[in-house]
Structure 1
Amino acid sequence: MSSQQDPQFGPLFEALRTAPTAPDAKAAADRLSREVSISGLQSLEEHKVLKTLHSFATNKKSGYERESAAVAFHSLANILGAPVAPLLIPSLPILFDLFMDKGDVVRIAATSAVRAILKLFPPEATRLAFRTLEPIVESGKWKTKVGGLDAIRGFAASAKEAVAAELVEVLPRVENAMHDTKSEVSSAAIKCATVLCTTLANPDLAPHIPVLVKCMANPDSVPACIKALSSTTFVAEVTAPALAVLVPLLMRALNDRSMETQRRTVVVIDNLVKLVRDPKVAAQYLSPLVEGVEKIAKGAAFPEVRAFGDTALETLLKSGASAKAPPSESRDLEGQTKDALHALLILLPEELRDLSSPVNGPYIPKFTLLSRSLEFQASLVADLVNTRQISEATTWTRCVGIFMKGWTHPEQSLKFSEAVREHFLAIDKEKYAVLTNGHHEEGEVLCDTLFSLAYGALLLLSHTTLRLIRGRRYGILGTNGSGKSTLLRQLRDGKVENFPPQDQLRCVMVEHSLQGEDASLSVLDFIASDKALAAVSRTKIRDQLVEVGFDDDRQADTVGGLSGGWKMKLELARAMLYNADLLLLDEPTNHLDRASVAWLEKYMIAHTNVTCLIVSHDSGFLDNVTTDIIHYESKKLVFYPGNLSTFVAHHPEAKSYYTLAATSVKFSFPPPGSLMGVRSNTRAILKMTNCTFTYPGRDKPSLYNVSCALSLSSRVGVIGPNGAGKSTLIKLLTVCPYATLLYTYNDTEQGETVPQEGTVYKHPALRVGYVSQHATHHIERHLEKTPIQYIQWRFQDGHDRKQALCPTSSVSLVEIPGEILEKATRLLTDEEKMVLDQDWVGKDGSKRKLELIMGRQKLKKSFQYEVKWRGLDHRFNTWVARDDLIAKGFTKLMQQFDDLESSREGAGSRDTAANLVRKHLEDIGLDGDIAQYNEISGLSGGQKIKLVIAACLWNNPQICVLDEPSNFLDREALGGLAVAIRDWAGAVVIISHNHEFVSALCPETWYVEDGRMSHKGKTAVIEDAFLDKKGSGANTPIQSRIQSPAQSTNGTPVVSGAEDSGTKNPLIKKKKKQTRNQVKAQEERRRLRKLAWLTHGGPKPEDTDSE
């Protein structure tokens, strides 16, 4: 009997087939669906409902029938609900074919029907739905493909995790569609891939989703994508979905011709593999990469790329990946589904069993469509068991119970679902044993977090655990750059996976740099303006400030006027007002004097309800405070009970935390440059006499009547309490009118200091390398460069670009661009600019105006400068004595030229080739690979300090000033620095609260307190080194330390007996005096030689009397 002759459903089919309008078709479809609901789902087959609708949908002659069929499928989905979903899966390809129908109403009806059917599937059915949609996307017509892509994209919103699990299967199909000849298909595929990639539960990859999708559509974008990935902080675990997206991209990148792309790719692979926890996932997804990485490790053109390839290959092989081994066993989906179906049939309710079923099962379903539904449910159950999602009863109701409601009573369907879940739960408990270690520390557990940590392209911690107990004080130990401060910052920012949020665990960080929004506020107002402390009264704030040492007068001071030590105390006070559960302290003793450190120790020990994580290079502080040590070992956090001494007792190799001797870290400073006219290393070359300085806006001088001096042999330690004026003293001494300062502090913030009283004088060619407390502020403008690129940029013109005056090597009267003119000691006042326009009257009465200074040379006990006159040719240049220029008011103009000349003398002879710059950075303790490949933005605080020190020493300065060098360097690096300072031949000035560091290196100390300075130890001879006739004849600090030879006997009287020694030096021929014309010719030769050197570069020619 045909469907039309069916007395029950025949009239319904006829009404649906002949419906003249869409509302009529919907009404007929609803009546048909309600009849199926009454008769049961089996009527879809018994009364040929599905077969009839399929014939309507494929009738090419009648658009009405095709539309009515689509409307009927929509109605069945809406009225019958989820139980009918497994039965409608075979109808989906027929409905997608209607997407190509010429009639708009048919296409609209088909689209609505597809959406209604797919909406019935739970998230756990995503795999089955995708297996149905993938053939449609691959082989359908173009509108059908677009519809299939849109349908796949729709699952991302409701089934995020399930979609992510299917990326490895579905994404290649979507990627192929991106290259379809139809632009509509390509556009839909790109949208689909973008949405699918958003399902990745990996926050590290989320910012790169657009570029990842772009690489799928356009392979030319691979290098840019790899560059972005290589600078990404990978922290989260890398799972199968992430590898499904990344591995095809990495395989393309491994075949790229660019060595830089290949290097970045193997680095990314090395870091990603370390974050893959599941060895099965690693073996399945990473094995295709082995061949490409091995090829680079053996055949890359550059040795450093081959080295990175070897490292990545070793990591791949350790993870379980292999190019030769057979692929890992994939999931036995068919077997698991069969087992699940067997369990469902055994537990099948009695009323649904066929009478011919075996007595003890498995039972045969009573209806054929029920068998199809059970097969669908068995696939879902197999997935649940495979992923061990067994504990949640609601999930099983969604995957089993809801599909049985169309075949039995609702209560019976729920019982069936629960029986199936309990069956597999018992199997799971028997298969997997619960493992416990039985170890529990006493006290409240604040967190027990498993996580990984990376910074830039460097993996710092891999699959390690952070378990913290309330009231404990943990000292974090590790080498410089291992990630100690990074860990604290990631905890503060809530970027550590699985770490409790702030509303559950109050976490506050105290850093070495003040995070003030407005430095002009008073101390009290600054704390009160914090929104997080809005509920705290000013009285409580005032009391807390008093507790850390801020009296009423100091509370009224501005935040910007505080020294580094007082700023740290202010941060500590603010942190204490937060009432934190976990206090993160990053170098808390930096800038603190001994009394403040002792107070901090007592405070932390007294507060037993607060847990502390401490990063510090102060071994004494750690020894006194810590109750536990957390040590970085092989990218893991290893916990040790006890303080630092206890830890070192068990690990003697960690003794570097106590001693200054360098172990694996070796520093080597370049030799200091020669200093013209200096013939003794004991004569003062830098001195300050009776100087008084007061900061603007203050009544009390910061320094009062201070006198001091430095020589080439000086080793000076500057000590004193916080705010006493130590840094001010050094800035006043080094940034004087006749200095060349290779400074690194922030000029706009710190400014420069010029004394109101007294005199400061230096050798005009003296170069001072100054690393201040705020040294890293300078390189913050170049975060996109690598350390090598930064050094090359700064010294590429043969002089320090931070001291650059103008494009030429001369100094003109016009306003010269450059940071050097921002300094107080370089700015020309209006009066000085007027003086520069004055006329010079020559010996013949002619008047000239100075245009620029072009050269400098020694003149007896001073210098003379080559001056070019305005409007005259170079051949009319003349040499003017230094004293004459000073008398005419050209002091700052000479200083500008001295700055440039000194910088060029230091850096002009040094080649900025990458390998030489890398060697220089390695000598200062910075890893060569980090220096060459890592951007400055990815460096740790200690690594940035090493870069700043290296930049200061590139010019071969004669004096090195280090302001709190122990603040950012670990004990091992500090030991390497101490050894380098000890062996260096130049002068050194150290400002530090680290008594051990200062006493080991500095026999002379300057103690500064209340603006006054006192000397202790040996001091330099405070004489003018440039006017003194005494000297050894040496012009470098190393040579000057050699004892001077005995005076020549040629000039001794007869009675001295020197003639009897038997050895006489040969007579020195007296130099013949040149005529005036000979002198002019010699000066012209020297001038032309100097111009040629300025134009073409190379070694600077020497002026000799024998030419």
Structure 2
Amino acid sequence: MAVAAVENIGKAYEGRTIFADISLELQVGERIGLIGPNGAGKTTLLKIFAGVEEPDHGKRTVSRQATLSYVSQQPLLDPNETLHHQVSLVFEELKAVETQMHEAADMMARHTSGLEHDAAIRRYDSLQHHFEHLGGWEIERRVQVVLQELGFSQRDLTLPISALSGGQKSRAQLARMLLSGADLLLLDEPTNHLDLHMLQWLEETLQAMADITMVIVSHDRYFLDRVVNNIVEMRGGEIERYPGNYSDYLTLSAERQLTRRRQFAQQQAFIAKQEEYIRRFGAGQRAMQARGRKTRLERLKTEALVARPRGQDKAMILNLKVARPSGQEALRLEGVSKRFDEKMLFADISFHLPRGTRLGIIGPNGVGKSTLLNILAGELTADTGEIRWGHAVTVQFYRQEHQDLNPENSVAEELQSARPTMSPQDMRDLAALFLFSGDTIDKKIAVLSGGEKSRVAMAKLLLNPSNTILMDEPTNHLDMLTCQVVEAALDSFDGTLILVSHDRYFLDSVCDQLLVLEPAKEAGQGPQWRLFNGSYSDYLVAAANEAQRALKQRRDVENQDKRRKEQPPSRQNQQTTKSPRSTAATSMKLPAHLSRLSLSAVEELIQKLEQQKRRAEQALADPKVVMVAEQLRQAKADYTRVQSDLAEALEAWEFKAQ
């Protein structure tokens, strides 16, 4: 069943056609990743689905029963309202029902008997049932859980939207969408401004929304691999759908392109053969056959011609061999610490890096990743400790702000300055990979946007690398193809690389070691750090195994404590000392299913019910369950049922143990 669709739509801006005739249907439960080069029209298509923009022609339809929620890259929030109020606006219907419940309760208080009292009771009962069905009692808890998982503190809830940073506003908009309960979610770059923990939580939350339809524009390839079940590629004003996630798309796209090139080559050979026959026999005994072939060939060219397949994406290989290698040890840190005001970011970091190490620095927002990188670059000073670079180390620092570009140069001149021997054609090919083509390569650095300056700086760095490179969020502002170019270039780099990135696909491709920074876990503790040997995927597996072991140890301790507390008294003690409850139990009537069980069978049942109770408690504490009203209602029902069953079983044990 289609939730929404666009049919034969077109859109142009200032005379430039973005797309002319595309159609796309969204089915229930589809999670579509919308990809393509910058400027292909991904955001425009999302806005048309959302009803924010109208197509120039064609039509948009949305199922009458469907509700939609749209997350844009520019959050639309009331700057004068608090964060909590703006996020809670998605529950306006529930708030209205709650207000009506209060009004019905007031009516019951004013009229203690009679028809009006009876009517108020009926209305209150009806409203309460509706309120509970919609999960009304859990509104506040759901809001708190989502905001906490997206990095907001309790203090942030009362701040006006105007006091939030751009990243916080984006996360507030995302929280509102996740709480909306909409049938169709339209998300434009939802992973911007999220740290690794938030990204993982968002992925798991979206995965749990099985029947919700989603269209997601994202450059986060790792996110697309974990969340979507279809890829729609926009390119050259057309769209093409691929089943599966991003990795499946890469395989299928390559296969389709190969098939198209073969079909096109066969077609061109056939056309050439027919044209040669027509040329040779256009006059003479075979002229009639030649005219027939000419008619069929003209029909082929107008009706059934296989389109020329697009050229292979340019993949200019940059060889990053350093001119002068460093010594065997590139870097050594001993006891490095940094504090800002009262907050200790990191403490006593000590490690050494051999030449050629590719180190990724990861951790949640606010733990000091970029601060540490700036300390290594000499732009900040550590409070304590020592940093020693190795012999002949030369350092290049790729920042998110680029003060080392010449504002008077054009893009072409700036790139040429990094490698004067580069030919004009190679320079243009490189510029195109970093999304500069046509007249844009003649633009002055001074008039470029922040993202454009980042791309120029990245291209320059790859043209003339030092033997040690520091990089702060290098894939920001790069499309997927350009990220692949950078990854391939760094793969050939034989120096030392230290980077901070939230791009997990990039981390996995480039880094072979991770420095994990973590905040203090408990009051009185300091921040933690550790060095992990392996890729980001290896780290995830190790972290999951470690969490499982910690959970098992915690459960074992809890089980031991509970067994000690709930240990049934011995038969001898039971005979000499009976509690009032057990005395009362001798006269109770057991449920039929318990009366047939032996004492040992009841004890086994109690153990099973205690396990079920622990699972129910864990479900109630799981943010993914709390997020979905239906799952939360089921978890509460399970907990209530198992509590009741456990109470009955304990009473049965007391009765049978006498």
- TM-score scaled by length of structure 2: 0.50
Matched with 2:496 is 987
What is the alpha-carbon distance in structure 2 between the residues aligned to residue 723 and residue 715 of structure 1? 23
Residue number among 692, 705, 708 corresponding to 2:337 in the alignment:
692
Matched with 2:129 is none
Q: CA deviation at 1:704?
A: 1.6
Matched with 1:950 is 459
Matched with 2:155 is 556
Q: CA deviation at 1:526?
A: 3.2
Q: CA deviation at 1:937?
A: 12
What is the alpha-carbon distance in structure 1 between the residues aligned to residue 452 and residue 205 of structure 2? 31
2:435 counterpart of 1:921: no
| Contact persistence 2:2–2:25 (CA under 8 A) | no
Q: CA deviation at 1:612?
A: 1.6
2:217 counterpart of 1:615: yes
| Contact persistence 1:671–1:985 (CA under 8 A) | yes
What is the alpha-carbon distance in structure 1 between the residues aligned to residue 447 and residue 63 of structure 2? 30
The SS at the match of 2:343 is: coil
1:172-571 aligned within 5 A = 442-444=1-3, 446-454=4-12, 459-469=17-27, 471-479=29-37, 481-488=39-46, 493-494=52-53, 496-497=55-56, 508-510=69-71, 525-528=82-85, 540=139, 543-547=142-146, 549-550=148-149, 554-557=153-156, 569-571=171-173
Matched with 1:1002 is 511
Structure 2: which 5+ runs fail to align? 96-135, 259-311, 520-526, 535-658
What is the alpha-carbon distance in structure 2 between the residues aligned to residue 990 and residue 709 of structure 1? 15
Matched with 2:580 is none
The SS at the match of 1:544 is: helix
| Contact persistence 2:149–2:198 (CA under 8 A) | no
What is the alpha-carbon distance in structure 2 between the residues aligned to residue 681 and residue 566 of structure 1? 43
The one-letter code matched in structure 2 to 1:525 is T
| Contact persistence 1:705–1:1012 (CA under 8 A) | no
The verdict on how the C-alpha distance between 1:602 and 1:930 changes in structure 2, with shifts beyond 3 A counting, is farther
What is the alpha-carbon distance in structure 2 between the residues aligned to residue 596 and residue 765 of structure 1? 36
Residue number among 404, 410, 414 corresponding to 1:789 in the alignment:
410
Residue number among 180, 184, 189 corresponding to 1:587 in the alignment:
189
Describe the superposition over 1:919-972 as per-residue Cα deviations: whole angstroms up to 9, x where unpaired: 5524x5445437436899999998775334125556644433334445554544
1:477-876 aligned within 5 A = 477-479=35-37, 481-488=39-46, 493-494=52-53, 496-497=55-56, 508-510=69-71, 525-528=82-85, 540=139, 543-547=142-146, 549-550=148-149, 554-557=153-156, 569-577=171-179, 580=182, 582-590=184-192, 592=194, 596-607=198-209, 610-619=212-221, 621-632=223-234, 634-640=236-242, 643=245, 651-653=253-255, 664-669=313-318, 680-684=326-330, 688-696=333-341, 699-708=342-351, 713-736=356-379, 753-760=380-387, 766-772=394-400, 789-790=410-411, 792=413
Matched with 1:166 is none
Structure 1: which 5+ runs fail to align? 1-441, 657-662, 737-752, 799-906, 1019-1107
What is the alpha-carbon distance in structure 2 between the residues aligned to residue 579 and residue 776 of structure 1? 42
The verdict on how the C-alpha distance between 1:605 and 1:986 changes in structure 2, with shifts beyond 3 A counting, is closer
What is the alpha-carbon distance in structure 2 between the residues aligned to residue 778 and residue 527 of structure 1? 42
The one-letter code matched in structure 2 to 1:478 is G
Describe the superposition over 1:889-929 as per-residue Cα deviations: whole angstroms up to 9, x where unpaired: xxxxxxxxxxxxxxxxxx6x84899777535524x544543
1:66-105 aligned within 5 A = none
Matched with 2:486 is 977
The one-letter code matched in structure 1 to 2:315 is K
What is the alpha-carbon distance in structure 1 between the residues aligned to residue 471 and residue 162 of structure 2? 22
The one-letter code matched in structure 2 to 1:573 is A
The SS at the match of 1:1013 is: strand
The SS at the match of 1:554 is: coil
2:530 counterpart of 1:1014: yes
The SS at the match of 2:40 is: coil
What is the alpha-carbon distance in structure 2 between the residues aligned to residue 974 and residue 551 of structure 1? 26
| Contact persistence 1:450–1:463 (CA under 8 A) | yes
Describe the superposition over 1:229-259 as per-residue Cα deviations: whole angstroms up to 9, x where unpaired: xxxxxxxxxxxxxxxxxxxxxxxxxxxxxxx
The SS at the match of 1:702 is: strand
What is the alpha-carbon distance in structure 1 between the residues aligned to residue 13 and residue 424 of structure 2? 24
| Contact persistence 1:732–1:754 (CA under 8 A) | yes
What is the alpha-carbon distance in structure 2 between the residues aligned to residue 1015 and residue 947 of structure 1? 32
| Contact persistence 1:480–1:943 (CA under 8 A) | no
Q: CA deviation at 1:770?
A: 1.6
Q: CA deviation at 1:985?
A: 3.9
- TM-score scaled by length of structure 1: 0.32
The SS at the match of 1:729 is: helix
What is the alpha-carbon distance in structure 1 between the residues aligned to residue 363 and residue 402 of structure 2? 24
Q: CA deviation at 1:646?
A: 6.3
The verdict on how the C-alpha distance between 1:464 and 1:936 changes in structure 2, with shifts beyond 3 A counting, is farther
Q: CA deviation at 1:980?
A: 0.4
Matched with 2:556 is none
The verdict on how the C-alpha distance between 1:481 and 1:494 changes in structure 2, with shifts beyond 3 A counting, is closer
The one-letter code matched in structure 2 to 1:947 is V
Alignment RMSD: 5.3
The SS at the match of 1:468 is: strand
The structure with the larger Rg is 1
The one-letter code matched in structure 1 to 2:396 is V
The verdict on how the C-alpha distance between 1:449 and 1:621 changes in structure 2, with shifts beyond 3 A counting, is same
Q: CA deviation at 1:502?
A: 11
What is the alpha-carbon distance in structure 1 between the residues aligned to residue 481 and residue 467 of structure 2? 26
- Which structure's relative contact order is higher, taking Cα pairs within 8 Å and 6+ residues apart? 2
The one-letter code matched in structure 1 to 2:25 is R
The one-letter code matched in structure 2 to 1:494 is E
The verdict on how the C-alpha distance between 1:935 and 1:690 changes in structure 2, with shifts beyond 3 A counting, is same
The one-letter code matched in structure 1 to 2:397 is G
The SS at the match of 2:153 is: helix
Q: CA deviation at 1:495?
A: 5.0
The one-letter code matched in structure 1 to 2:326 is S
The verdict on how the C-alpha distance between 1:496 and 1:565 changes in structure 2, with shifts beyond 3 A counting, is same
The verdict on how the C-alpha distance between 1:572 and 1:683 changes in structure 2, with shifts beyond 3 A counting, is same
What is the alpha-carbon distance in structure 2 between the residues aligned to residue 632 and residue 940 of structure 1? 24
| Contact persistence 1:714–1:987 (CA under 8 A) | yes
| Contact persistence 1:942–1:970 (CA under 8 A) | no
| Contact persistence 1:511–1:586 (CA under 8 A) | yes
Q: CA deviation at 1:997?
A: 3.6
The verdict on how the C-alpha distance between 1:574 and 1:960 changes in structure 2, with shifts beyond 3 A counting, is farther
Q: CA deviation at 1:981?
A: 0.3
The one-letter code matched in structure 2 to 1:702 is L
What is the alpha-carbon distance in structure 2 between the residues aligned to residue 448 and residue 937 of structure 1? 40
The one-letter code matched in structure 2 to 1:973 is T
| Contact persistence 1:587–1:967 (CA under 8 A) | no
The verdict on how the C-alpha distance between 1:729 and 1:564 changes in structure 2, with shifts beyond 3 A counting, is farther
The SS at the match of 1:974 is: helix
Q: CA deviation at 1:573?
A: 0.5
